[in-house]
Structures are given as structure tokens and as C-alpha cells.
Amino acid sequence: MSTRFALACSALAAIVLAATAGGQWWDHPVPVTAGPGPAGAVRPMAGSSPGSASATPDCTPQNLLASLRPQGPLPAPGQMPAGSTMARIAKRGHLIVGVLEDVSPMAVRDMNLQLEGFDIDIARDIAEAIFGDRERVVFRPLREADRFPTLVSGQVDLLVAGATITCPRREQVDFSTVYYEAGQRVLVNRGSAVRGLDDLRGRPVCTAGGSTSLRNLQASPAVPIPVVTATQTDCLMLLQLGKVDAVSTDDNLLAGMAAQDPRTEVVGPRFTEEPYGVAINKNTPDLVRFVNAVLQRRVEDGRWRASYEHWLTPLGPPPSPPTPQYRD
């Protein structure tokens, strides 16, 4: 038995098993019934209906992406304000960050099994701002479906895990300002007649459970048949094995898959907007302001652009960083 075939069988078995089983700083290869997803689960493309985004009083389309404003300059590393969330983290000795670990180029293991990527750069910058040491961070790899329950339960300090800011999620957690803007597209095998989501009516399309991509597929007028797996990597394997006709998720992640397997390609235009934010527990507003100050500094000192150029050049030249939106 070849190593690749053994890995594929192991992954498929696992998938089937899953199927059955404030101060001063202050899832599995089984079709899912298609149908309208939860209204307001995603931020629609400009000009489209906003769904029920305005149903939550503090989550209108105008302020969905607004986050708490930084107050004053960042404190020096190692000198966090007394009684603050950052001081508690500093006393512990490390920052705990929930991440994905198989979504190149945002977060992936290198040859030495160390995490690297655009999201990982952000997490290390936050740790550096607290400790003066980029290595004082403990990464907790999570499945997409487990990200928010893990944060809400207090097992991690924050998530830097390709998390799209949505109204339902904002009812559970706080978000930083937008640090990256993605959009959902489609990945197919080269030579496929599929040129976009509209060509996938009634056909199996894979995406990870717990993602906005799944809700987008369920709500799509194209009516594809969503096939749900635990991770996006499982979706790529199902496409390689001919079990699905396409994979659909954020275009930056699809670009990473296409780089792993040149026999695949990304097709069609973006059909959603996916603004990423750092997710933070609602009872730590001082940490939200602190993270926003770190993100702001990353833009000002060129780290955002340097990280983009290192990890995301397959998507094209660096765009302007997202413009932060604040609320007091």
C-alpha cells in the first residue's frame, strides 16, 4: 500500500468516524441538506442584500467591522498596566493563541513542524508587544468548528485563525479591526469544465465544518451539495480522490491548496467578502484595544506589507492594508 493511499484511507476513515460519532488600556464526506443558511452569517458582497445583519442592534452593516479604539500608545514590553488582561498574561509567562495548522499560507507546519504563516506572524507580534519576545506564545491548533467554543470557554486568550467577522459570531466574542480581507471562490482539478460556483448546481462541493464557507454554500442560489469535512486539507484530498467536484473556501486558502497540488486551479470570481479579525473574549476589552494597537503598528512600521509579500504574493501585489474602523 502506498504511503499516499494509506494517508488518504486514514483521513477518510477519520472523517467517516466523525460523521457517526476594563482599566486605562482599556464533519465528514456526507452531503449536508442544502438550503438557506442562517441570515447574517456572512458579510455579503457590496450591493447585495445585507440579510439580517441589522437584526442585532450593535451589528448593523455600518458598524459590523467596528472595534474598540486603542487608547494611547502601546505600553513598553514587560510593563503592562497593573490589573490588565495583558498583565495577567505576562505573569503567566506566555500568550495562548488558537490557530489553524493546515491552511497555507495563513498557518501551516514547516519542515521542522513549526507553525508559520500570515496569521502566525500576527500572533507573534502580539506576544512581542507583551513580552518583548516573539517566542513567548503557545499555539493551540484547532479545527475550524472548535475555534469559538475554545475561545469562549477561556482555553485560549485569543484566536488568530482566519476568522471572518460576522454578526452571529459577534454575539459570542469581540473582534479586532480587520487585518485581512479574503473572499470565497472555487478550486477544481485542471481540465474541469467548472468555471465558477454557478457550474456546480447539484454537484458535491467540499468545505470545512464550522466555517462561513459552509453557510455560503448552503445559502447559494447555485444550490451545490455541500460536503463537510473537519479540515480544508481533507477537502483537497477528496478532490484529488474524485469524491467531490470542487472545493470552496476563501481564495487565500485555495491558493495555498493550488500551490500544494499544481493539478488544481482556482476559478471564478469572489462571491463573498470575508473580513478576518482576531477574535477575543468579550470580558477582556482592554485586550481588544491592545491588539488593535498592535495591528495599527504593524501597518505603520511595514510589518503588514512585509508579511503579505512573504506569504501572499501568489494572490498578486500587496493591496493597501484594511482601513480600521473603530467604536469607542
Whether 44 is covered by a domain: the verdict is: no
* Comparison of pLDDT for 98 and 45, the residue scoring more: 98
For the beta carbon of residue 172, count every other beta carbon within 10 angstroms.
13
302: its cell numbers: 511595514
pLDDT at 107: 96
Whether 306 shows a pLDDT value over 70: the answer reads yes
Domain check: are 161 and 283 in the same one? yes
Domain check: are 78 and 214 in the same one? no
SS3 51: coil
Domain check: are 80 and 121 in the same one? yes
Q: What is the pLDDT of residues 40-88, one digit of tens each?
A: 333 333 333 333 333 344 678 778 999 999 988 899 999 999 999 999 9
Domain check: are 113 and 247 in the same one? no
Q: What is the pLDDT of residues 254-305, one digit of tens each?
A: 999 999 999 999 999 999 999 999 999 999 999 999 999 999 999 999 999 9
Closest by Cα among 144, 156, 58 to 107: 144
Whether 43 is covered by a domain: the verdict is: no
Tell me what percent of the residues of the chain surpass a pLDDT of 90: 76
Whether 181 shows a pLDDT value over 50: the answer reads yes
Domain check: are 164 and 287 in the same one? yes
Distances (CA, A) of 103 to 96, 110, 317: 19, 12, 20
CB–CB of 295/278 below 8 Å?
yes
CATH of the domain at 257: 3.40.190.10
Q: What is the pLDDT of residues 188-244, one digit of tens each?
A: 999 999 999 999 999 999 999 989 999 999 999 999 999 999 988 899 999 999 999
The pLDDT of 103-131, averaged and rounded, is 96
CB–CB of 265/188 below 8 Å?
yes
113: its cell numbers: 513542524
Domain check: are 303 and 260 in the same one? no
Domain count, the chain: 2
| Domain range for 217 | 3-21+27-35+184-267
Question: Can you tell me the distance from the alpha carbon of 140 to that of 146, in angstroms, rounded to the nearest whole number?
Answer: 11
SS3 192: coil
Domain boundary among 267, 293, 311: 267
SS3 138: strand
Domain check: are 288 and 175 in the same one? yes
69: its cell numbers: 479604539
Identify any residues that bridge with 159 across adjacent strands, giving them in sequence order.
Answer: 98, 279
Domain boundary among 267, 289, 307: 267
Whether 158 shows a pLDDT value over 90: the answer reads yes
pLDDT tier for residue 314 given thresholds of 50, 70 and 90: confident
